[in-house]
Amino acid sequence: MAHWGAPLAPRSGVSGADVAISESFLQTQSQLRDNLARRVRQLRRGSRMSQRDLADRAGVRQALISQIELGEANVTLDSLLKIAIALQVDLQALFAANAPARPLGAVTPPRHLP
């Protein structure tokens, strides 16, 4: 299995346009992961939380928080929503450097049921 950042090898029958689209996709994917990594770390530290604190509040594994902050995670939308709620930000704030750090309305972290 190829690593997410590994270049795609052209196959027979694959046009140059397909390869260009794939390279563009990989570049965009890399930029999104880098932005997400930077913002999650920034928001977590700004909230004075450790990775473990954030993981516990979001109901995800600490290893996932670490992978996100290293730009290595292929994170699900569900996990991103949990992390945003735990950080008390809306989802777009996880990706945009100029997004508000805190929403106007209060967001309550999800409760863990026994």
Assess if residue 103 is contained within a domain: no
Assess if residue 37 is contained within a domain: yes
Assess if residue 50 is contained within a domain: yes
The CA angle 36-59-70, to the nearest 5 degrees, is: 30
Assess if residue 4 is contained within a domain: no
Pair of tokens at residue 3? 């690593």
pTM of the entire predicted model? 0.69
Q: How many percent of the chain have pLDDT more than 70?
A: 66
Residue partners of 95: CB distance under 8 A and separation at least 6: 32, 35, 36, 39
What domain count does the chain have?
Answer: 1
Q: List, for residues 40-58, the tens digit of each pLDDT value.
A: 999 999 999 999 999 999 9
3-state secondary structure of 81: helix
Looking at per-residue pLDDT, the higher value among 44 and 3 belongs to: 44
| Domain extent for 68 | 20-94
